[in-house]
């Protein structure tokens, strides 16, 4: 039964690693939940009928577009904020300003949760609680949502990660510079005295050296002096392990339970890598036979990293445009550098497929027409990869593939749907 397999899974989980909690899973029901954050996670798995019937396998999509902030990133934003609050890096009783570099979804999720938790806005003269830095080629729908939620949005030209004007670099720097003056001086003194090792998880502007321990967290978050100070918090989804944990302890176990422990393959794209690393590692910890499959869009170097061990090999480098140089239709997935979360993903990926914008757009249109599913472009990429993988393996005996339906097509209308409806000139 699912209960005994769940118990088995639980036992196995505790053997696997003690540092991960295994939360009981409560599927959405007619219960009343507390506030918007109560709606996050526990999303259903939906069978994609058209593709499953055509291929003779079960293709199941985790309906992450049903999260209140509209995407899979709600899970990550909630975990990042909860962990930061637990560590005293973000405190509800003082002015805080959150900074993040994002192509949109994570920003919308952070904004939603910060509002729901009433993380108060920073003290004057800074008026907003959240600063989002994003590339200027992302769909306008995401910018509109961020503005409606009250975030400050700065849009910058897409750039390489080695460029200090790259959006993640700007966000990190802005968090550090926020509230400079005496707070920053304390931080710098602490660094100089080797009292602060800025963890890869976060760059935090907080207080004087006496409050910061060797892990870079605060010893006494309730200190009066500390509470009176505004701070900047860099959410840092690319490097922050809370991203991985949200999936390892949330969506991963949910999928295992929902499929009654029967998963043959998990297929996902990677933007920060949190989803594929967290869910992939969890499923493999339950059954090492589960195949973890990467769906990689044009311009991303991950496919090469998985196949050849390098992001760009010499032969290819000349003719290949990197993701920040490509006018991309698919948003949210694809990356050209290693991050903490990508590091956790690469070793467990069994197979990888390159998906073109044309394939993703064709799939988006197919799903609307055949299933009434209006999905975003990264979900479409995932489903194209499901088909490629099934065909490559010659599967047609009812094997179960699980993938992520990251967000809705509403957020991508101006790019994806406008293209297939012939209303926009998209490459
Ligand atoms: N799809 C969309 C729409 C996204 O915004 C993101 C995150 N950037 C992803 C997929 C990829 O998820 P992850 O960051 O966990 O790799």
pLDDT at 416 over 60: yes
Helix H, strand E, coil C: the string for the chain is CHHHHHHHHHHHHHHHCCCCCCCCCCCCCCCCCCCHHHHCCCCCEEECHHHHHHHCCEEEEEEHHHCCCCECHHHHHHHHHHHHHHCCCCCCCCCEEEEEECCCHHHHHHHHHHHHCCCCCCCCCCCCCEEEEEECCCCHHHHHHHHHCCCEEEEECCCCCCCCCCHHHHHHHHHHHCCCHHHHHHHHHHHHCCCCCCCCCCCECCCCHHHECCCCCECCCCCHHHHCCCEEEECCCCCCHHHHHHHHHHHHHHHHHHCCCCCCEEEECCCCCHHHHHHHHHHHHHCCCCEEEEEEECCCCHHHHHHHCCCCCHHHHCCCCCHHHCCCCCCCCCCCCCCHHHHHHHHHCCEEEEECHHHHHHHHHHHHHHHCCCECHHHHHHHHHHHHHHHHHCCCCCCEEEEEECEEHHHHHHHHHHHHCCCCCCC
pLDDT at 406 over 50: yes
Check residues 200 and 302 and name the one with the higher pLDDT: 302
Does the CB atom of residue 274 touch ligand 1 within 6 A?
Answer: yes
Q: Is the peptide bond before 125 cis (omega within 30 degrees of 0)?
A: yes
pLDDT at 384 over 90: yes
* Atom nearest to 237 CA in ligand 1: 14
Does the CB atom of residue 69 touch ligand 1 within 6 A?
Answer: no
pLDDT at 94 over 60: no
| Ligand 1 center to 406 CA (angstroms) | 7
Task: Please answer whether residues 106 and 73 qualify as being in contact, where contact means their C-beta atoms are separated by less than 8 angstroms.
Answer: yes
* Atom nearest to 378 CA in ligand 1: 1
Shortest-distance Cα residue to atom 10 of ligand 1: 332
Quote the CA–CA distance of 301 and 321 in Å, as a whole number.
10
| Ligand 1 center to 376 CA (angstroms) | 11
For the stretch 215-248, pLDDT in tens is: 444 444 434 444 445 568 899 999 999 999 999 9
| Residue 178, pLDDT score | 73
Shortest-distance Cα residue to atom 5 of ligand 1: 332
pLDDT at 282 over 90: yes
pLDDT at 345 over 70: yes
pLDDT at 170 over 50: yes
For the stretch 28-69, pLDDT in tens is: 566 788 899 999 999 999 999 999 999 999 999 999 999 999
Does the CB atom of residue 275 touch ligand 1 within 6 A?
Answer: yes
| Ligand 1 center to 329 CA (angstroms) | 14
Q: Which of 163-172, 270-279, 336-345 has the lowest mean pLDDT?
A: 163-172
| Residue 209, pLDDT score | 33
In a 10 Å sphere around its CB, with 0-12 CB exposed, 13-18 middle and 19+ buried, how is residue 7 labelled? exposed
| Residue 13, pLDDT score | 41
Shortest-distance Cα residue to atom 12 of ligand 1: 271
pLDDT band at 294 (very low <50, low <70, confident <90, very high): very high
For residues 354-367, average pLDDT: 93
For residues 133-153, average pLDDT: 89
Over the chain, what is the mean pLDDT?
80
Q: State percent of the chain over pLDDT 90.
A: 48
Q: Which of 261-270, 314-323, 398-407 has the lowest mean pLDDT?
A: 314-323
Residue in 65, 242, 272 to alter for ligand 1 test, most ligand atoms within 8 A of Cβ = 272
For the stretch 118-136, pLDDT in tens is: 776 544 333 457 888 998 8
Shortest-distance Cα residue to atom 3 of ligand 1: 332
| Ligand 1 center to 296 CA (angstroms) | 12
| Residue 268, pLDDT score | 98
| Ligand 1 center to 270 CA (angstroms) | 6
Check residues 223 and 389 and name the one with the higher pLDDT: 389
pLDDT at 304 over 70: yes
| Residue 15, pLDDT score | 37
Shortest-distance Cα residue to atom 9 of ligand 1: 332
Spatial CB neighbours of 426, under 8 Å, sequence gap ≥ 6:
329, 357, 361, 415, 418, 419
Quote the CA–CA distance of 83 and 6 in Å, as a whole number.
26
| Residue 230, pLDDT score | 56
| Ligand 1 center to 208 CA (angstroms) | 36
Quote the CA–CA distance of 281 and 199 in Å, as a whole number.
23
Write down the pTM of the prediction.
Answer: 0.81
| Residue 202, pLDDT score | 28
* Atom nearest to 243 CA in ligand 1: 15
| Residue 210, pLDDT score | 36
Q: Which of 175-179, 217-221, 400-404 has the lowest mean pLDDT?
A: 217-221
Q: Which two tokens mark 43?
A: 């999303």
Does the CB atom of residue 295 touch ligand 1 within 6 A?
Answer: no
Does the CB atom of residue 102 touch ligand 1 within 6 A?
Answer: no
Residue in 105, 171, 340, 380 to alter for ligand 1 test, most ligand atoms within 8 A of Cβ = 105
Does the CB atom of residue 263 touch ligand 1 within 6 A?
Answer: no
Does the CB atom of residue 271 touch ligand 1 within 6 A?
Answer: yes
pLDDT at 173 over 80: yes
| Residue 189, pLDDT score | 53
For residues 165-191, average pLDDT: 67
- ipTM exceeds 0.85: yes
């Amino acid at each position: 039964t699912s209960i005994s397999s769940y118990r088995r899974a639980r036992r196995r989980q505790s053997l696997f690693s003690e540092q991960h909690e295994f939360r009981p899973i409560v599927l959405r029901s007619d219960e009343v939940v507390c506030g918007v954050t109560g709606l996050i996670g526990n999303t259903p798995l939906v069978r994609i009928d058209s593709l499953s019937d055509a291929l003779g396998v079960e293709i199941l999509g985790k309906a992450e577009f049903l999260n209140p902030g509209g995407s899979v990133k709600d899970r990550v934003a909630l975990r990042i904020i909860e962990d930061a609050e637990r560590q005293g890096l973000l405190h509800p009783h003082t002015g805080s300003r959150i900074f993040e570099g994002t192509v949109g979804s994570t920003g919308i999720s952070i904004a939603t949760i910060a509002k729901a938790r009433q993380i108060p806005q920073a003290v004057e003269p800074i008026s907003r609680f959240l600063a989002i830095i994003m590339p200027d080629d992302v769909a306008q729908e995401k910018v509109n949502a961020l503005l409606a939620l009250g975030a400050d949005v700065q849009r910058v030209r897409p750039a390489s990660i080695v460029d200090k004007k790259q959006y993640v670099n700007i966000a990190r720097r802005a968090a550090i510079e926020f509230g400079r003056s005496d707070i920053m001086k304390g931080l710098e003194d602490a660094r100089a005295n080797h009292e602060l090792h800025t963890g890869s998880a976060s760059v935090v502007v907080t207080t004087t050296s006496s409050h910061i321990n060797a892990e870079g967290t605060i010893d006494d978050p309730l200190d009066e002096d500390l509470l009176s100070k505004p701070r900047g918090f860099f959410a840092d989804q690319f490097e922050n392990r809370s991203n991985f944990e949200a999936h390892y302890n949330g969506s991963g176990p949910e999928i295992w339970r929902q499929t009654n422990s029967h998963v043959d393959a998990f297929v996902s794209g990677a933007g920060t890598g949190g989803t594929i690393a967290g869910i992939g590692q969890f499923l493999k910890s339950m059954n090492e036979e589960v195949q973890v499959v990467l769906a990689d869009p044009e311009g991303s170097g991950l496919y090469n990293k998985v196949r050849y061990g390098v992001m760009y090999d010499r032969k290819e480098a000349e003719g290949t445009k990197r993701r920040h140089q490509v006018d991309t239709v698919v948003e949210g997935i694809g990356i050209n550098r290693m991050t903490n979360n990508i590091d956790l993903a690469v070793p467990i990926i069994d197979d990888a497929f390159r998906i073109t914008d044309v394939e993703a757009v064709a799939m988006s249109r197919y799903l609307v027409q055949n299933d009434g599913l209006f999905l975003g472009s990264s979900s479409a990429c995932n489903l194209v990869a499901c088909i490629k993988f099934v065909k490559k393996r010659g599967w047609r005996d009812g094997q179960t593939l699980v993938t992520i339906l990251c967000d809705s097509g509403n957020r991508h209308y101006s790019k994806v749907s406008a293209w297939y409806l012939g209303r926009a000139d998209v490459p």
